[in-house]
Amino acid sequence: MLMPHYSMPFENRSQLPTRNQRGSSVSAPQHAEIATALLERNRKDPTRLVQILREIVEALGHLPRQVLAMVGAELKLPYGRVAGVAGFYHFLDIDESARYRVLWSDNIIEHMQGSVELCEEMCRRLWIEPGRVSEDGLVSVGYTSCIGMGDQGPALLVNGRSVTNMTRERVAAMVDAIRAGIPLATWPQEWFAVADNIRRRDILLDHRLKPGAALTAALARGPAAMLGEILTAKLRGRGGAGFATYQKWQACRDAQGCARYVVCNADEGEPGTFKDRVLLTRDADLVFEGMSIAGLCVGAERGLLYLRGEYLYLREHLESVLGRRRSAGLLGRHILGSDGFNFDIEIHLGAGAYVCGEESALIESLEGKRGTPRSRPPFPVTHGYLDAPTTVNNVETLACACLIAENGGDWYAAIGTQKSAGTKLLSVSGDCARPGIYEYPFGVTIAQVLADAGASDTQAVQVSGPSGICVAPDEFGRRLAFEDLPSAGAIMIFDDGRDMFQVARNFAHFFAHESCGFCTPCRVGTSLVKNLMDKLNAGHGSPHDIDELFKLHRLMQSTAHCGLGHTACNPVVDTLNKFRPAYERRLHSLEFEPGFDLDYALSQARQMTGRDDAGAHLANES
């Protein structure tokens, strides 16, 4: 059965109050009225719980507890289930938040661009501390994980909207706008400009396909023949794992069940990655057409695009493209005049959870649940969305399917290497003259990418984000391909002036922040790694602590529930193996030193009692 198209019961979204129109004037009855309208808009569908809560936050700025109770009652869900979902996602605030919520990107690349200093400058001007709400409830300033703008940082989110290229002058102007209570809608539009920064094009970024052309070619071939072309093309997933696309689609097609689903994973939360952002901005037609081709091949009538919450600004554009495709007969019933091909697409917006990039966690989120990765098997191709056969593919993978439909599998397989066909989009950022998007045939060397990006004196390259591989200069001849260096697309460059310990420490904080908390090895392990890195940074480390980092890596690799825990120690272990002096210069003792200073912890008690004599201190053993 073809999915319903959800439409806003208001004439447009602007009829709902926004955080900047609202202030603190929205009353409890208005809360209920707005929540009721949003529940109706989402047809009181429990699987859309995350979307409902997300839209309530957009309207009210937070999730009042009485509204959570009301949502639970209307959806026939326990209050604990609704509150548990709200508490899982970073962008679903239960406690009342400020009128302006400013979140600076905490990515190491933007630290290098000066984000920490600019955040401190903003806090000084606003007379608040980072992570706190001002006493009048006007503004809060804090940090969030990478927001996909590393090529044009420092960047931040204001009430969910991306602001790029921050400078001291822009900080001063933004502080003035906040103090004056100026709505975001009237802020200078150049603050919100997001550039594509495409530096090198190849067959995908220079495709020149008109909307409908690839789909017409796929329909002419038919589902079985189109699947054969995907097999011939040797297309592999572009999300990093590199799983064979044909094998996934064929398994979904062959699985038992009436309904089948196509899911596009547009939750690119890996720090340093922004290629999908560019594809969705300039080639949304290609992505949606790739989803439709997948639907044709697997026999699905419904597609869902899971858009990361930080890309909120793209939603209106994507909905517009979907509307245009429906009007052109490229979505809906009897696509392009066919008798049996019905397919439509719906956009789901994430709410800030890195772990939802894992396909089973993403499916849980699509179903209105906490984004906890599932135990596998069974796999999504047989038991995915709503327990039905589901294929989950990356944005870039689906776009590539259009090239294969148009030009054939043999043409595509001739590009790249024997085991890695086609091209790869790379998100290049860090210490280089030309950050941005580069497209290369598989097999390009790290050295070539560095030369094209204008990098010099490069000390290290982090391939595929924190969960990937850190390569040193003697490895720059390695090739980006599944048989050598597989990559989801992030290339983070660090010159010889950077401290690789601080790079790894930033990544350790990222994983501790983003662990879903489901399994003990990851929940506790990522916290322990973060604490050990902080201990080393504070000058209290010893060789014992370095040994503990290796032990935690082995433990988490073998016992964690999902890939996040398996890879969380990768940046620490890589930098320890390749840049060990960055750690050793922080070791001031060969003996174990506790990270907790009990005597210092008692300083407040001494101050309260007015004592600072020797008897008020712990005795120092000689």
- Give me the helices (H) in 76-159, please: 79-88, 108-112, 115-126
What is the distance between the alpha carbons of residues 339 and 356, in angstroms, rounded to a whole number?
A: 36
pLDDT at residue 198, as a whole number: 98
Tokens at 144, concatenated: 């969030």
pLDDT of 554 higher than 70: yes
pLDDT at residue 619, as a whole number: 67
- Smallest Cα–Cα separation from 502: which of 536, 548, 550, 461? 536
Helix and strand numbers (H, E) in the chain are 26, 14
pLDDT at residue 620, as a whole number: 53
pLDDT at residue 588, as a whole number: 80
Query: What are the pLDDT digits (tens) for 154-212?
Result: 999 999 999 999 999 999 999 999 999 999 999 999 999 999 999 999 999 999 999 99
Tokens at 10, concatenated: 């208001």
Higher-confidence residue of 611 and 303: namely: 303
Tokens at 546, concatenated: 């370095």
pLDDT of 11 higher than 80: no
CB 113 within 8 A of CB 102: no
For residue 267, the one-letter residue type is: D
Task: Provide the pLDDT confidence category of residue 257 given band limits of 50, 70 and 90.
Answer: confident
Strand 100-105's sheet: what is its strand order? Answer: 139-144, 100-105, 156-158, 161-163
Low-confidence winner among 98-112, 134-148, 546-560, 592-606 (lowest mean pLDDT):
592-606
pLDDT at residue 12, as a whole number: 43
State mean pLDDT over 433-439.
Answer: 98
Residue 183: phi and psi, rounded to 5, are: -60, 150
Tokens at 409, concatenated: 């599998």
- Smallest Cα–Cα separation from 111: which of 397, 434, 451, 505? 505
Q: Positive or negative, the Cα torsion across 204, 209, 211, 213?
A: negative
In the chain the domains, ranked by start, together with CATH numbers, are 13-88 (no CATH), 100-195 (3.40.30.10), 199-413 (3.40.50.11540), 423-497 (3.10.20.600), 501-584 (1.20.1440.230)
- Smallest Cα–Cα separation from 199: which of 449, 490, 464? 449
For residue 162, the SS3 value is strand
Q: pLDDT > 90: what percent of the chain?
A: 86
If you ran DSSP here, which 8-state letter would residue 494 be given? Answer: E
Higher-confidence residue of 618 and 443: namely: 443
- Smallest Cα–Cα separation from 426: which of 93, 236, 251, 204? 204
- Binning the chain into helix, strand and coil, the percentages to the nearest 5 are 50, 15, 40
Please report which helix (H) or strand (E) contains residue 158, including its range: strand 156-158
Query: What are the pLDDT digits (tens) for 118-144?
Result: 999 999 999 999 989 999 999 999 999
pLDDT at residue 342, as a whole number: 97
Task: Provide the pLDDT confidence category of residue 462 given band limits of 50, 70 and 90.
Answer: very high
What is the distance between the alpha carbons of residues 447 and 61, in angstroms, rounded to a whole number?
A: 47
Residue 76: phi and psi, rounded to 5, are: 60, 45
Average pLDDT, the chain: 93
CA 204, chain centre distance (Å): 22
What is the distance between the alpha carbons of residues 290 and 284, in angstroms, rounded to a whole number?
A: 10
**DSSP per residue, 42-97:** TTT-GGGHHHHHHHHHHHHSS--HHHHHHHHHHHT--HHHHHHHHHHSTT--SSPP
pLDDT of 20 higher than 50: no
